[in-house]
A and B are shown apart, each in its own frame.
Chain A
Amino acid sequence: MEPGEGTLGRLLVAHHVSRRAFLRFCSAMAAALALPPMYAPRIARALDVAQRVPVIWLEGQDCAGNTEGFLRASHPTVADLVLEILSVDYHETLMAPAGTAAERSRSDTVGAFPGAYIAVVEGGIPVAEGGVYCAIGGRSFRSIVEEVCGGALATIAVGTCAYDGGLPGANGGPTEAVGVSAIVPGKTIINLPGCPMNVQNLTATIVHYLTFGTFPAVDSRGRPTFAYGQLLHDQCERRAHFDAGEYVLGWGDEGHRKGWCLYKMGCKGPETFANCPTVRFNDRTSWPVKAGHGCVGCTMPRFWDQMSPFYRRLSNPPGFAVDVTADEVGLAFVGAVTGLTVIHGAASYARARRARASDEAISRPAGGPAGGPPPSGDGRPEVA
């Protein structure tokens, strides 16, 4: 098929990106989405004719970490092309105009593409005291989210703050920060929690939409199952050490140097659903456990309170106390050694299992003492 005017296909030709590099990108996307390899050509065909989708990227109570993550979008020659299939019409950190000219960029898109633009929201939305804790152009951020997300094709909530209020919504925070779902319930919302989210998951979500005309399957909390359907612990390259009882006991000790399991240093991988070990960060360079520090569970609901203290070991890691079966452990091991290669049927079976486990894992009551949990002192019972 001849790529059409203004499409990604045409841009690829214009930028002398080889067809092979493009197809490689499409295969990587299929893998990230846990689709069988035969979907890669379908993705390629869809992207060939895709038109640029308008995007309004809103920032509320944020640190711009997801924006920075977005800038690290990692597929070398194709990354900026992926950005070019979007038309990022409003993004405070990147856009040229300021003040009313900036606001015009936003309202133009809302008006010209009703129901046809994607809203991306980064940061919490404070609802206390009429929204005075985040004002933009004299308006409450909440009113902007209501307007922009209310009229969007879909909203992608990037990062944990936009997912459930995140850091400003943690115990002790006075602003009553909430996530997008609490502001525009009933709208199509894709949640990509993480602190910040992994940009690979954002790219894959958008590619899925451009390819199939729908957003990827999500769990009951709006998280795509391709990214949040599996326990991190089941994909971790240190898992064999966990199973063998080989643990890091101090920073820089022999186990730490040999890459042993970080469970006893507080790793939250056994209770965290995320694909960090397989997609990793920064062009697949690394992820926290690979570098030597435990997972802090940043993709999980209310993780600032539920997963801290970060250095206190979990009392109840799956594999010892809950229902992870041997064949699931075996599958996860295959997943870990083959990286992004996913065996479709088996993987979706495992995903369905894990999604259930995920919903159970997060149904623990939120809360804890006001002002944050007590310091650890490592008072929990030993398990291993």
Chain B
Amino acid sequence: MTRLVIDPITRIEGHLRIEVEASNGAVTDAWSAGTMFRGLELVLRGRDPRDAWVFAQRACGVCTTVHALASVRAVENALELTIPANARIIRNLIAGIQFVQDHVIHFYHLHALDWVDVVSALSADPAKTADLAESISPYPDSSVSYFRAVRDRLEAFTATGQLGPFANGYWGHPAYRLTPEANLLAVAHYLAALEWQRNVIRIQALLGGKNPHPQTYVVGGMAIGIDPNSPTALTMRRLSEVAQLIDEARTFVDQVYLPDVMAVAGFYKDWAGIGAGIGNYMSYGDFPLGDPTDPRTFYLPRGIVMGRDLGAVLPVDHAKVAESVAHSWYAYSDGDATPHHPWKGETQPAYAGPPLPYESLEWHDKYSWLKAPRYDGQPMEVGPLARMLVAYASGHPEVREAVDDALRALGVGPEALFSTLGRVAARAIETSLIAARLEEWLCDLEANLRTGDLAVADASRWDPSTWPAHAEGFGMVEAPRGSLGHWVVIDDQAITNYQLVVPSTWNGSPRDAAGRRGAWEEALVGTPLADPQRPVEILRTIHSFDPCLACAVHVYDPLRGTSTTVTVG
């Protein structure tokens, strides 16, 4: 048996350490550890609840905006505010383009290099690459000269000997299976996506002032003046700019991202049988199309699929969320045995790991800066796959059609979804569905404005003197990486408790008091390892979850003094 350490796990947000035990060419056990803590929940105490979203948004700069949304929803819930229709739609548009842009960046810039061999692309035939491109998509940038230019550029780059971020990659690893032409196609789109993302996210600048970290949220609505007759407000002209960017976003998703994912998946169908994980899937649901407090109006539904049973969708009750610190570097005042609901949550850091620098973490007790959230005592997987499965099982017509189409194209059944490849495909399918909705939502906004409704915020509770002495609220959001909840307690106009339970805490959770692994740990068990010194397969499964650690922080635990520890990467 060999123990492998990969630290840092790169191409994620945040700091993650993965340790696995492997024998006979496969992972037999796994621990994951987030190794950074900032203390955001403690910083928020005593602050003005109306300020909380500005702080909370900084939980993550990659999935920017989503924590701002969860925060204003939590405070609005506490103060019993209902935002106007314009604010609801603008929030949907900002969140929607976040999904689209973030998922594309994840595929090309954070995940693709686990499947795509950049060096192999150097030997591709541009003519054959153009043939391949035209066979899978009508996207216009598919000429022989286009692909030749990309290959020449790559050649010029490598000829300098300074490989920059591509130095020391696992190039030539036997687990890479794309043809040189497919590799060149993917490299071309890696570069194209870099340009594309920069442009389409301007939607957030138009509606939010800037990206990352847009700045037009307020408790009660949005701080953006709308007035068709005022050039300094959100006018029809600016909305038409949004419309054009939505069009560019959708074209790229449907003509580049989705076809590329399907093409790459065709080379790696065995990954539909790897990386299943715990098999419980949760979605809070999001994108309200009507009353934002009523989940029945959400475009993506709320629900839970347990034990891979697509025959039933269970309801979600926020009261059943609780966090354990049995294996986390925190202390609860009443001892670590009992999990706490976030309203009763505590953030008292209590590092119990080895002094720095260390070779190996201690696995027997506490081993992570991540808490362990459980739903009704059960670990959950959250994210695009969970959302698509909950929607699929709920009979969502568009999701069913899109998922069935993809399964048919790959020649696999629904069970293939419970896998590393399933996560990659679900993310792309979801992106396409949301990209298609953005235009509709923009039309809804324009239609609403035409009725003369220019309201952007409910100001009835802006003045803190109107607040009750004590209030509790929660805000649920579907972030690109999964279900996100903020819980706030307000006393005498100030925050007395603030807790975030974020997607990567669900997925990256350490073992709980009962010893059950979190989603990442469970998904790694059984992952093949062709060359333990270059564990690209581990990266494939971990990256399929799109880990985002800054807000989540940590998982881990090993057996002391066991076999060889090999630090690899």
Q: Which residues of A pack against B, CB within 8 Å?
A: 6, 10-11, 14-16, 52, 54, 59-69, 71-74, 76, 79-80, 84, 86-89, 91-105, 108, 124, 126, 129-141, 143, 167-168, 170-175, 177, 195-196, 250-252, 256-259, 265, 280-283, 285-294, 296, 304, 308-311, 369-378
Taking CB atoms, residues of chain B closer than 8 Å to A91 are: 165
Binary flags per residue of B54-75, CB closer than 8 Å to A gives 1, else 0: 1100111110100000000000
Contact across chains for A96 and B166 when beta carbons are under 8 A apart: yes
Given the known inter-chain contacts A168-B38, A259-B230, please indicate yes or no for A134 contacting B15, CB distance below 8 A. Answer: yes
Residue of A nearest to B15 (CB): A136
Measuring CB to CB, which residues of chain B are less than 8 angstroms from any residue of chain A? 5-15, 17, 35-40, 42-51, 54-55, 58-62, 64, 105, 109-110, 113, 118, 149, 152-153, 156-157, 159-160, 162, 164-170, 191, 194-195, 197-199, 201-202, 204-218, 220-227, 230-233, 349, 351, 353, 355-360, 454-457, 459, 462-465, 493-494, 534-535, 539, 550-551, 567-569
Whole-angstrom distance from the CB of A162 to the nearest CB of chain B?
A: 13
Contact B218 A63 (CB under 8 A): no
Which of A52, A139, A173 meets B357, CB within 8 Å?
A139
Cβ of A94 and Cβ of B109 under 8 Å apart? yes
Measured between beta carbons, the chain A residues less than 8 angstroms from B207 are 291
Closest-by-CB residue of A relative to B223 is A293
Write the nearest CB–CB distance from A224 to chain B, whole angstroms.
20
A252 neighbours in B (Cβ, 8 Å): 221, 225-226, 454-457, 459
Measured between beta carbons, the chain A residues less than 8 angstroms from B164 are 86-89
User: A102 to B216, Cβ gap below 8 A?
Assistant: no
Chain A neighbourhood of B534, CB < 8 A = 101
Chain A residue at minimal CB-CB distance from B207: A291
Q: Which residues of A contact B551 (CB under 8 A)?
A: 63
Choose among B5, B14, B35, B43 the residue with the greatest number of A CB atoms under 10 Å from its CB. Answer: B43
Chain A residue nearest in CB terms to B228:
A257
* B60:A168 contact, CB within 8 angstroms: no
Query: CB-CB < 8 A to B14: which residues of A?
Result: 64
* B165 with A65: CB separation less than 8 A: no
Question: Which of A68, A139, A175, A289 meets B39, CB within 8 Å?
Answer: A175
Q: For A171, list chain B residues within 8 Å (CB).
A: 43
Q: List 9 A-B contacts (CB under 8 A).
A: A11-B156, A68-B62, A68-B64, A86-B164, A93-B10, A93-B11, A99-B568, A102-B569, A370-B46
Chain B residues whose CB sits within 8 angstroms of the CB of A177 once the complex forms: 38
**Residue of A at shortest CB range from B198?**
A72
A250 touches B36 (CB 8 A): no
B212 touches A98 (CB 8 A): no
Q: Are A251 and B457 in contact (CB-based, < 8 A)?
A: yes
Ordered nearest first, which 7 A-B pairs have the shortest CB separation?
A99-B569, A65-B61, A259-B232, A291-B209, A96-B169, A281-B210, A371-B46
- Determine which of A94, A132, A371 lies in contact with B45 in the assembled complex, contact meaning CB atoms within 8 Å: A371
Contacts A100-B569, A132-B353 given; does A258 touch B225 at CB 8 Å: yes
Cβ contacts under 8 Å, B216 to chain A: 288, 291-293
Q: Is the CB of B36 within 8 A of A61?
A: yes
